[in-house]
Amino acid sequence: MKRDIKFTACLLAAVMTCSLTVPTFAAEAASEKEEVIYIMTDAAGHVTNVNAVNIFSAGDIVDFGNYSDVKMLTSTENITRNIDKITFSTDDKKVYYQGTMENAEIPWNISMRYYLDGKEYSASEIAGQSGKLEIRLSISKNKKCKGNFFENYALQASVTLDSECCENITATNATMANVGSDKQITYTVLPGKSLESSITADVNEFEMDAISINGIKLNLNVEIDDAELMDQVSQLMDATNKLNKGSGELNSNSETLKAGSSILDSGISSMHHGVEDIDNGIASVQKGISSAQSALDTLNDKSYKLIDGSAQMKTALETIRSSLSSISVSADQLAELTSASGAIKQGISDLYDGAYTLSQNLGFAQYQAMMAQNGLDIDALQAGNTQAIHDLSTQIASLQQALAQIENVPGYETQTAQLQSQIASLQNVIQLLSGNNAAITGAERYLNGLAAGGDTLYQRLGTLKTQYEGFDTIIRALSNTLSDMLVKVSTLSEGIDELVSNYTLLDSGIREYTEGVAQLTDGYTQIVEGVSSLASGSKSLLSGGGELKNGAGELYDGIIAYCDGVSKLADGTNELYMKTDGMDTQVQDQINGILNTIGGEEIEPVSFVSDKNTNIKSVQFVIKTEAIEKAEVIANDIQEEAPLNFRQKLLRLFGM
């Protein structure tokens, strides 16, 4: 059979927790003390012995009590008993003495009745039996006991059943918890209330640890200072209204930003298409020039075969003339290219400036500043929300303590429901406040993310601006080169025309002609190099334009997302405003309702031992029943009993 060791530890802690500082009293004045009344009953609840442990501080002690026997528990000082007057002196910081009370009437009638398969058994008869067990536990007022202990003291009763021998355990008006392999059944009995409960279980060779019942003085007086809370609720409502207005203005301004970014994205896309057209035209020029140079190289390599290959030469000359005639780039087009490049450079510069302005106006700090202009301090709002949550949580904790004391008590169902409703209402307020803080935190993360994106865009545009300024310089240089090339191409075209017209004179001046072809090839190489440079620059322009287009697209997408977020923020703050409107009245009504359902009265503790003891700090009751155990064989060995220490003396009070 397992022993209730935890209960013993609790008894020791209960006796030794309080510290007193007491001056020396006059000879007949009762000293200040604490009383712990230890009550032992049999398994049916009948009182078998009552012992009072009286706790004093150092000094000359005078106490009163109708004891049959007294003894010191923690010191060796002599203790004197004269009828009902007990005196002793001690220097110990804390001293305990025990008084045995004969025929004492305790404040409660306690009854345990045991049934197995519907038949009633005594505790000794039911030990070790198996079947369907029912324990009927009853606690009521003992009218023979003097004083108002029943009306002022609450009880907590604990019944422990071993789950190894007890299954399918049920209990009315109780809470149950698993403690190791045991099932602990706990009852709370409020002052002035009785208890009727039934515990059922399927048992095998039934045994049960002692039932423990602790009695303490209980005061349910609850006072709530709601002035500060209501002030914070009003501040929350004002702040929510300002937040709603500020979010609306921010949403309106974001639509203007969205329209501007759409125009910018469309313009950048059109510019990119123009750059693609320029690149395609330059690629065609490069292809024609390359074809002409290939023909010139062939002509130059085989000029010594001109006589035999004059027909091939004529064909090559016709090819050159045809290729030259396909070059349609004019000086006006080059001027347009230079002008377009300058416009792009200026557009990128304007975009760079706009990105800088955007980066300076994005971010949570700017959002806070805007809110501040509208009279709302975001940080103060969060701090106020946090404080309000803390205050409400404190109030809920107080109410939950009161609820825990009455929720399982018969007759308190209405008060229990009211307390649960009030707690749920305050928890809803906490949820609203937490949602408000979460909305602010989400806005902070979102806006700071946008700000980081704006800074990245600003930096990338800075890089693109620098790159394009260099590229524009290349464009202008290529334009000048291409202008010179056009002059040379025109001269070449005239020479080819003349060469074709006067081809019959080639036979007489083959040497001079060959040298001229070589010179023509060298000059044409410069043209090819110029066109290649122009094509390379065009590719760079196309690549930069593509990056600019992608960046503009990302900017537009980011602004769209920002506007959507701002719109959701505005919807959320409006919903928050609508839900918190009139919250001050609701909170006040809830608090008033709670205060109307609970209350209490402070009463000074009185001595259970003797009404002559008028200087009482506290009185506790510790009640323990006899355990139900199967019969065990008792050895006949007789050993000499060693002296008991303080802990052993306390255990002896309960027959342990």
Regarding whether 615 and 562 lie in a shared domain, the answer is no
Structure tokens that stand for 534 in this block? 């122009």
Report the pLDDT value the prediction gives residue 328, as an integer from 0 to 100: 61
SS3 363: coil
Q: What is the pLDDT of residues 481-494, one digit of tens each?
A: 877 776 776 776 77
**The amino acid at 435:** G
Q: Cα–Cα distance between 412 and 400 in angstroms, integer?
A: 15
On whether residue 115 sits in a domain, the answer given is: yes
- Find the domain containing 182 and state its range: 1-218+602-650
Cβ-based neighbours of 478, under 8 Å, separated by 6 or more: 530, 533, 534, 537
Q: By the 8 A CB rule, do 51 and 76 touch?
A: no
Regarding whether 392 and 261 lie in a shared domain, the answer is yes
Q: What is the pLDDT of residues 403-429, one digit of tens each?
A: 898 888 888 889 899 888 989 999 998
Given a cut of 70, whether residue 622 has pLDDT beyond it is yes
Structure tokens that stand for 33 in this block? 């003390």
Give the pLDDT mean for 327-356: 80
On whether residue 577 sits in a domain, the answer given is: yes
DSSP labels, 186-214: EEEE-TT--EEEEEEEEESS--BPPPEEE
Pairing of strands 175-179, 131-141: unpaired
Confidence bin at 620 (pLDDT 50/70/90): very high
Q: What is the pLDDT of residues 52-73, one digit of tens each?
A: 999 999 999 999 999 999 999 9
Regarding whether 266 and 205 lie in a shared domain, the answer is no
On whether residue 133 sits in a domain, the answer given is: yes
Report the pLDDT value the prediction gives residue 88, as an integer from 0 to 100: 94
Regarding whether 407 and 332 lie in a shared domain, the answer is yes
Look up tokens 């307390």; give the residue.
419
Regarding whether 444 and 478 lie in a shared domain, the answer is yes
Helix and strand numbers (H, E) in the chain are: 12, 17
Q: Cα–Cα distance between 182 and 161 in angstroms, integer?
A: 6
Look up tokens 């706790």; give the residue.
55
Average pLDDT, the chain: 82
Q: What is the pLDDT of residues 282-321, one digit of tens each?
A: 676 577 667 767 766 776 776 667 567 667 767 876 787 7
Q: Of 218, 216, 209, nearest to 185 (Cα)?
A: 209
Regarding whether 149 and 270 lie in a shared domain, the answer is no
Phi, psi of 180 (to 5 degrees): 65, -130
Cβ-based neighbours of 27, under 8 Å, separated by 6 or more: 62
Q: What is the layout of strands, in order, in the sheet containing 119-121? A: 119-121, 108-116, 131-141, 195-203, 166-171
**Stronger pLDDT, 377 or 529, i.e. the higher one:** 377
Given a cut of 50, whether residue 514 has pLDDT beyond it is yes
Regarding whether 283 and 187 lie in a shared domain, the answer is no
On whether residue 272 sits in a domain, the answer given is: yes
Confidence bin at 394 (pLDDT 50/70/90): very high
On whether residue 29 sits in a domain, the answer given is: yes
DSSP H helical ranges for 362-377: 364-373
Regarding whether 275 and 149 lie in a shared domain, the answer is no
Quote the number of domains for the chain.
2
Give the pLDDT mean for 328-343: 79
Report the pLDDT value the prediction gives residue 143, as an integer from 0 to 100: 96
Report the pLDDT value the prediction gives residue 223, as an integer from 0 to 100: 58
Regarding whether 620 and 568 lie in a shared domain, the answer is no
DSSP H helical ranges for 77-226: 123-126, 149-152
Q: What is the pLDDT of residues 20-53, one digit of tens each?
A: 333 333 346 788 999 999 999 999 999 999 999 9
Q: What is the pLDDT of residues 15-27, one digit of tens each?
A: 333 333 333 333 4
SS3 155: strand
Given a cut of 70, whether residue 435 has pLDDT beyond it is yes
**Stronger pLDDT, 286 or 629, i.e. the higher one:** 629
Give the pLDDT mean for 222-240: 75
CA gyration radius for the chain? 51
Q: Cα–Cα distance between 565 and 135 in angstroms, integer?
A: 64
Confidence bin at 137 (pLDDT 50/70/90): very high
Boundary-marking domain end, from 593, 616, 634 = 593
Regarding whether 240 and 204 lie in a shared domain, the answer is no
Given a cut of 50, whether residue 2 has pLDDT beyond it is no
Confidence bin at 434 (pLDDT 50/70/90): very high
Q: What is the pLDDT of residues 449-475, one digit of tens each?
A: 877 887 887 788 799 889 888 878 988
Structure tokens that stand for 107 in this block? 């404040």
Regarding whether 358 and 210 lie in a shared domain, the answer is no
Q: What is the pLDDT of residues 249-288, one digit of tens each?
A: 888 887 887 887 788 778 778 867 876 876 786 676 577 6
In order of 96, 176, 184, 344, the CA distances from 156 in angstroms are 25, 13, 12, 86
On whether residue 321 sits in a domain, the answer given is: no
Q: At what angle do helices 364-373 and 227-301 cross, to 10 degrees?
A: 130
Report the pLDDT value the prediction gives residue 30, as an integer from 0 to 100: 80
Given a cut of 50, whether residue 627 has pLDDT beyond it is yes
Confidence bin at 6 (pLDDT 50/70/90): very low
Regarding whether 270 and 128 lie in a shared domain, the answer is no
Q: What is the pLDDT of residues 542-557, one digit of tens each?
A: 888 788 788 878 878 8
Report the pLDDT value the prediction gives residue 654, as an integer from 0 to 100: 53
Report the pLDDT value the prediction gives residue 455, as an integer from 0 to 100: 83
Confidence bin at 220 (pLDDT 50/70/90): low
Boundary-marking domain end, from 593, 617, 639 = 593
On whether residue 207 sits in a domain, the answer given is: yes
Boundary-marking domain end, from 593, 615, 641 = 593
On whether residue 428 sits in a domain, the answer given is: yes
Given a cut of 70, whether residue 89 has pLDDT beyond it is yes
Q: What is the pLDDT of residues 73-85, one digit of tens each?
A: 988 889 999 999 9
